Structure 1
Amino acid sequence: MESNQDKILSSLLDEVRGARITGPSNITVKNIILDSRKVLPGSLFVALRGTQTDGHQFIETATGLGASAILCEELPANIYESTTYIQVADSAEAMGYIAAAFYGQPSKSLTLVGVTGTNGKTSVATFLFQLFRALGYRCGLLSTVQNQIEDEVIVSTHTTPDSIALNQLLAQMLAKNCTHVFMEVSSHSVVQHRITGLQFAGGIFTNITHDHLDFHKTFDNYIKAKKGFFDALPKTAFALVNIDDRRGAVMVQNTQARVETYSLQTLATFKGKVISDTLAGMHMEINQQEVWFRVIGRFNAYNLLSVYGAALLLGEKADSVLTELSNLKSPPGRFEQFHSSDHIVGIVDYAHTPDALENVLETITHLRSGNEKVITLVGCGGNRDAEKRPKMAAIACKYSNEVILTSDNPRFEDPMDILEQMKKGVPPLDYKKTKVVPDRREAIFKAGLEANPGDIILIAGKGHENYQDIKGVKTHFDDKEVLSEVFEKRRSN
């Protein structure tokens, strides 16, 4: 990842605390590299302790390829006079500050807003991106679905990229005259210092529920990770929290930022009320103004409220914001609707946590107009939090007439092992209405061909993803494409 201009090492270390430097600091740094195989003469190689490998093992390789400097927590056995070593307590934290300096502190010249929480991050960040473009600003987006600079789409591999890639993207956005950037802030990114060194204009908290315990180990650690984002916000920023979530107040206990709230249930800076909700749209009252929105569902009512609040906190006028918000559509794979010629409704949604699945199914329950069946197809990812698997199945059974348990992204686990764990959550009275179909394509066809006119099919878990991850290989698979095939087959039969 190259900068437009080489930097002198000493100029990159101003905010790095407690660094011990061995060798000259007036040397030129051409780029910052995490992968030792990509080191070139003049590179600064970062020895990062990751979850899979320890970068300290590759210091010798990086030095041999001509790295001018090494950032590390532990000095190697062999010290070379031609190389400068920067020893720090935490390589990831130091890398955040160094990357920001290397790319010219782009976040300080942008209005950067971060969105964190278990569910709703992608929708809120995407709605903000769409809204501010509609209001006439040039914008950037950093999300799970995709990174975007105005109309240019950049494939996203992580919810939040590493600090080098992140600052490079922000620098690109600034170079293309963006003024506002909206980004998802994952719990991983806080703990792993991917956002260290960035200056945020504001932070939004959506909600917090059961997720990522494979990484954080305890729910308390997960909460602390989310809270860490708000703890680090400057006095100049705003912290906008969903006060209906009982941990909303916890998030901002120690923040220096200006705290504001949004709610559907109690007094708040930004107060909303759902008047009516149908498959066609949602009628809401926001701060005593009635508006009709194209997006639907109570969960989206919260998302819209947070977007409205953030826009006003960024200085926009309420009337203009509500006008543009009323035209927005959901991001890909977020309660995305498809209709067959014989009036079956297919809904593809990214819901992959118990809370998200329950939100979507509760919305569908409220939208039902008569005796139509709800058929839910759901799976759980492999090598991820296993505790939620039986919960997901139990929730699907609670709200559905028929349930099909199937594969999601099994990764390196046996799909049948995952499904057996999900089956443990099926209540005995619901055994008859629950089927196990390991092949996801077959499962979607089964749901689509067995449905009757008027029925609603929910395909949950993968949403915007267009692949299945099986034993380290990502094979093309798109729920929306398969559902369209099924609907076409129904039409031709």
Structure 2
Amino acid sequence: MMVLKDILYKVTINAVVGSTSITVSKIEFDSRQIKTNDVFVAISGTITDGHNYIEKAIKDGATAIICEALPEHLQDDITYIEVENSNQALAFMANNYYGQPSENLKLVGVTGTNGKTTVSSLLYQLLKKAGYKVGLLSTVKIMVDNTMYKATHTTPDSLTINKYLKMMNDEGVEFCFMEVSSHGIHQSRTEGLKFEGGIFTNLSHDHLDYHETFAEYRDVKKKFFDQLPKEAFALSNIDDKNGLVMFQNTQAKKYTYALKNYADYRAQILENEFSGLLLKLNDSELWTRLIGSFNAYNILAIYGTAELLGLEKDEILRLISELENVAGRFQYFISDEKITAIVDYAHTPDALINVLQTINDIRTKNEELITVVGCGGDRDKTKRPKMAHIASALSTKAIFTSDNPRGEVPETIIEDMEKGVEPQNFKKTLSITDRKQAIKTACQMAGPKDIILIAGKGHENYQEIKGERFDFDDYKIVQEYLKQLQK
């Protein structure tokens, strides 16, 4: 139980009706979870508006309502707080309710289009190997030191973030690495959190179904750096044209990394093979099991962050050499028939280019490169033809299939993709709606030393069709089919 006025610290309030000295049990923004003495925060979401559920929340026991517009009919025994922004209010309230947990550990946020999961997950792995208690808030999973919890969003809601951060406090966690998505920033989910540092990986075409323009998408990412305190660090990839944009209004100490430009942390790729990368990182040579130039950038981000957090240079290099691939990020195996199968989360044009160029840099060109790729339903349609263009241009064969169709007809998504294929590449493409069948076909087409890339879903172990989630794991499925071919 907490006194309402204590939870409202830092919230921008326009009007108060009733007493703020009442004690409340907990905070909820989902009216279905309301119990006696709860605070209900009415949020205007993209699908439903919480303001429509205020009466229901009161009937179910809510004694305080946080909203952006007061209801017409006010009940005498209820406290109503009109706020400027319900999302922002929820973030501050959650932070207060859980006792400002981010102030009791070193929290580092990772933002950008690609690389967020890899960088945050590998930093978790590295600091664990260094002997620290570490937390992770990622797309793949949530870790409270050694205990794993299931992740549902790239950046969870602010109540969930603060709940897990408090659990980390209770476990004595010293560092936490967190993916910070553009949705999360735009919806103020990270407001009120104290960040030790922020990392910018890159910016490319994504989420234009949510952000109306690329400039808006970029500026939302930039807002994260604008809000960093002066004691924090901001580490940015300046090979990306938006890398320096992130620094424009930040008070944080600025550091840079790059492969192509002069930077605080810079690297040169000496060897690039399926077994790993040999890098010259600043003045040191480093071997890593991670593969490709995109991972060279990730390693720079990890190295720079670890040093800025106080680890010794030689220890960081040793620990990076021990790091293992993150699930669904260039995750590969070689079958008994010497077929290489790679599963990668690449679901944006830029990420797909990176993965395919990496494979093409390594392969001898005597092998077939068969790419299986789809695009998500109810998401940005403009990237569909681009994804198909890239897959067909950079592969010897491309199979277009379903990703997570969600509420859309899969065939329609594939038709949108096919519009991006240039005439000279028509013969290289095939469309198979059923993803399992598409993977099976790729396995049947492949011969010894050929390479199969299955792109788009990576670590996801489900397929979302018409509101339902079905078990589906690209990595397991391709393993099964390649084993069947060996019999």
Please state which band the TM-score falls in when normalised by the shorter chain: over 0.9
Alignment match of 1:171 (pick from 156, 166, 183): 166
Deviation, 1:216, is 0.3
Paired position in structure 2 for 1:425: 420
Q: Does 1:104 align with 2:99?
A: yes
**2:353–2:390: 8 Å Cα contact kept in structure 1?**
yes
After the TM superposition, which segments of 4 or more aligned residues of structure 1 sit over 4 Å from their partners?
Answer: none
1:280-429 → structure 2 map (5 Å cutoff): 280-429=275-424
Contact 2:13 2:81 in 1 (8 A): no
**Distance in 1 between the 2:196 and 2:32 partners?**
36
Q: Could you tell me how far apart the structure 1 residues matched to 2:92 and 2:29 are? A: 15
**Alignment correspondent of 1:272:** 267
State yes or no: 1:68 paired with 2:46.
no
Partner of 1:47: 42
In the alignment, the residues of structure 2 paired with residue 98 and residue 151 of structure 1 have an alpha-carbon distance, to the nearest angstrom, of 28
Deviation at 1:370, TM superposition (A): 4.4
Residues 366-411 of structure 1, C-alpha deviation per residue, up to 9 Å, x if partnerless? 1103401100010000000000000000101111100100000000
Cα-to-partner distance string for 1:84-111 (whole Å, 9 max, x where unaligned): 1111111111111111000000001110
Superposed, 1:184-195 pairs within 5 Å as 184-195=179-190
User: In the alignment, is residue 463 of structure 1 matched against residue 458 of structure 2?
Assistant: yes
| Paired residue total | 487
What SS class does the counterpart of residue 311 from structure 1 fall into?
A: helix
Amino acid at match of 1:483: V
CA–CA distance in structure 2, aligned partners of residues 439 and 150 of structure 1? 39
| Structural mapping, 1:233-252, within 5 Å | 233-252=228-247
Amino acid at match of 2:459: H
Alpha-carbon distance in 2 for matches of 1:50, 1:147: 24
Deviations 1:280-328 (A, max 9, x none): 1100011110010011100000000001001111111110011001110
List alignment gaps of at least 5 residues for structure 2: none
- Secondary structure, counterpart of 1:63 in structure 2: helix
The one of 88, 92, 109 aligned to 1:93: 88
Instruction: Look up the match of 2:195.
Output: 200
- State the Cα deviation string for residues 143-202 of structure 1 (Å, max 9, x = none): 111111122111111000111111111111111111110000000011101111111000
For residue 36 of structure 1, report the CA deviation from its aligned partner.
Answer: 1.1
Larger mean Cα displacement after TM superposition, 12-21 or 471-480: 12-21
**What is the one-letter code of the residue matched to 2:281?**
I
Aligned residue runs from structure 1 range 117-136, under 5 A: 117-136=112-131
1:33 is matched with 28
* More displaced stretch, 343-352 vs 151-160: 151-160
Render the CA deviation track for 1:342-377: whole Å, top value 9, x for unaligned.
Answer: 100000000000000000000000110340110001
Structure 1 counterpart SS, 2:13:
coil
CA distance in 2, matches of 1:29, 1:115: 34
1:22 to 12, 17, 36: 17
Question: Aligned partners of 1:480, 1:19: CA distance in 2, in Å?
Answer: 52
Q: Distance in 1 between matches of 2:70 and 2:14?
A: 12
In 2, Cα distance between equivalents of 1:19 and 1:128: 41
CA contact (8 A) 2:376 2:405 kept: yes
Equivalent runs, 1:4-19 vs 2, <5 Å: 6-19=1-14
Q: Shift of the alpha carbon at 1:474? A: 0.3
SS in 2 for 1:214: coil
- Structure 2 letter corresponding to 1:69: A
| Partner deviation per Cα, 1:23-53 (whole Å, 9 max, x = no partner) | 1111112111111121111101000000001
Supply the distance in 2 between the matched residues of 1:351 and 1:151 (Cα, whole angstroms): 28
Number of the residue aligned with 2:254 = 259
Cα RMSD (Å) of the superposition? Answer: 0.8
What is the DSSP-based 3-state SS (H/G/I as helix, E as strand, rest coil) of the residue aligned with 1:420? helix
| CA drift at 1:209 | 0.2
Q: Which 5+ residue runs of structure 1 have no aligned equivalent?
A: 1-5
The letter for the 2-side match of 1:399 is L
Aligned to 1:3: none
Q: Give, in angstroms, the shift of residue 19 of structure 1.
A: 4.0
Distance 1:357 1:246 in 2: 19
1:183 aligns with 2:178: yes
| Distance in structure 2 (CA, Å) of the matches to 1:59 and 1:118 | 36
Counterparts of 1:332 and 1:422, CA distance in 2: 27
For residues 214 and 49 of structure 1, what CA distance do their matches in structure 2 show?
Answer: 18
Per the TM alignment, residue 227 of structure 1 is displaced from its structure 2 partner at its CA by 0.3
Identity level (%) = 50
Distance in 2 (CA, whole Å) between partners of 1:105 and 1:267 is 38
